[in-house]
Amino acid sequence: MADPTKDKTWEYDLNNLVIADGATVDGAFLSTRQRLFGIKEILINNGSTTFTAPWTVVSSSDSSTSGASDLWVDEFDLVWADDDTSNARSWIVLRQTGISTTFEVCIVCQEDSTSNDGKQIEVWVAQAGFTGGSTTARPTATDERQLRDSTADGYWGSGQVNTAYTSQTHVWMSSDGDCTRIVICIGDVVTGYWAFETPKNPTTGWTDPYFACIEGEANVTTSQVTYSRFLDNATMRGRYSGANTTMYLSSEGMVNDGIGEATGNGTQQQNQLDNSYIASQCGLSSTTSTFVGRHGEVFDMWWGLSFVGTGRYYPETGTKAFVQIGDFVFPWDGSTLIRTR
């Protein structure tokens, strides 16, 4: 497809460097704490960019105190606990009214072993508002949807345990707050991908629609932005009518592939007639019982050609209005993407 027109006005906080630091404090490497703290800071406009519709802190815990304020003052306020203990831990609830009035994400510093260096967290999202919470128990919400489970898949993009990494964090936010995307790069690989979004053209009946994900693995070699991750697996999560749902990011396809995968079958290249690189818009399709079907689209995100890889701009020079990261094409601000230091 030809270069698309963006639906949203995008704001960026890109190329945020965290230097590897293996000092272990309160169950986590220092650089891991800095990385997670840095994300929070960017989201609430304490980064280098002033977002038009930033997230706000609803409540938090620094493991010593909990309450309706931002107690994550610096990275040392992030204290991890083993998730099968009742030890004190840090958590934070952030709100983004661009998605819905009380769309909130709750991040909890807990992992399945205290020796995991902060490489795992638990994450929930909800729209009914998180309530409660203490230094030893996270807040809960009646409609909470778990994105990361520290007992099973708590990795969030900071790599594996026992190693401290240098990383680059990139944050996109639409000026209306509808869409927030976060990419974490370690060693040239997109090790973490977070998204909290309002879908485009949602089906009638899907009230207060949203989809979200936090993807990471216990390594720094697996890209989190791939056809495999989102086209072949229902990795996006949401809620409908009181039930948890999952969604695929569908693509125009043929045979067994998205067309960005199939093009060339090993000799991939861009469209040979018009040289276009962007393969397909991203749809949202679900096979969750009672939510089966195509329920919307993703604003301003496209499937790319898988052979291209991260760091290709469209157009290549000049405005650089789009960038391919992994198998996705994102809006871009014209700067140079930094993946490694």
Partner 1 sequence: MAAPTKEKTWEYDLNNTTFADGTFVGNAFESTSRRLFLIKEILINNGSTTFTVPWTVTSSSDSSTAGASDLWVDAGDLIWRDDDTSNVFSWIVLRQTGISATFELLITCEEDNAGNDGKQIGVWVAQAGFTGGTTTARPTASDERQLRDSTSSGYWGSGPPGVAYTSQTHVWMSNDGEITRILICIDGEFTGYWAFEKPKNVVTPWTNPYFATVQGDSDVVTSQLTYSKYYDSANMASRFSGIDTSLYMSGEGFASQAAGEAVVDPNQLTDDFAASAIGLHSLTSNFRGRQGEVADLWWGYTDTANRVGLYFPADGSKTFIQIGHLIFPWDGSTILKVV
Residues at the site binding partner 1, with contacts judged by CB under 8 A: 1, 203-206, 231-234, 240, 248-259, 262-265, 269-274, 276, 279-280, 283, 285, 287, 290-295
Phi, then psi, of 76 in degrees rounded to 5:
-75, -10
Find tokens 């994550």 and name the residue.
72
| Sequence-ordered list of residues with C-beta below 8 angstroms from that of 299, at least 6 positions apart, any chain | 7, 8, 174, 178, 179, 197, 198, 199, 200
Least distance to partner 1, CB of residue 270, Å: 7
Q: Which is nearer to partner 1, 66 or 270 (CB)?
A: 270
Least distance to partner 1, CB of residue 173, Å: 27
Output the six-digit token pair for 84. 């099968």
Q: Which is nearer to partner 1, 86 or 256 (CB)?
A: 256
Q: Which is nearer to partner 1, 86 or 267 (CB)?
A: 267
Least distance to partner 1, CB of residue 249, Å: 7
Output the six-digit token pair for 229. 């991750």
Output the six-digit token pair for 71. 């107690």
Q: Which is nearer to partner 1, 101 or 204 (CB)?
A: 204
Least distance to partner 1, CB of residue 275, Å: 9
Q: Which is nearer to partner 1, 294 or 320 (CB)?
A: 294
Other Cβ atoms closer than 10 A to 317? 7
Least distance to partner 1, CB of residue 218, Å: 24
Q: Which of 82, 60, 89, 55 is nearest to 73 (CA)?
A: 60
Q: Which is nearer to partner 1, 101 or 273 (CB)?
A: 273
Cβ(35)–Cβ(184) under 8 Å? yes
Least distance to partner 1, CB of residue 43, Å: 30
The 3-class SS string of 56-102 reads EEEEEEECCCEECCCCCCCHHHCCCEECCCCCCCEEEEEECCCCCCC
| Sequence-ordered list of residues with C-beta below 8 angstroms from that of 160, at least 6 positions apart, any chain | 119, 218, 219, 220
Least distance to partner 1, CB of residue 299, Å: 17
Cα within 13 Å of Cα(312), Cβ side: 16
Q: Which is nearer to partner 1, 8 or 294 (CB)?
A: 294
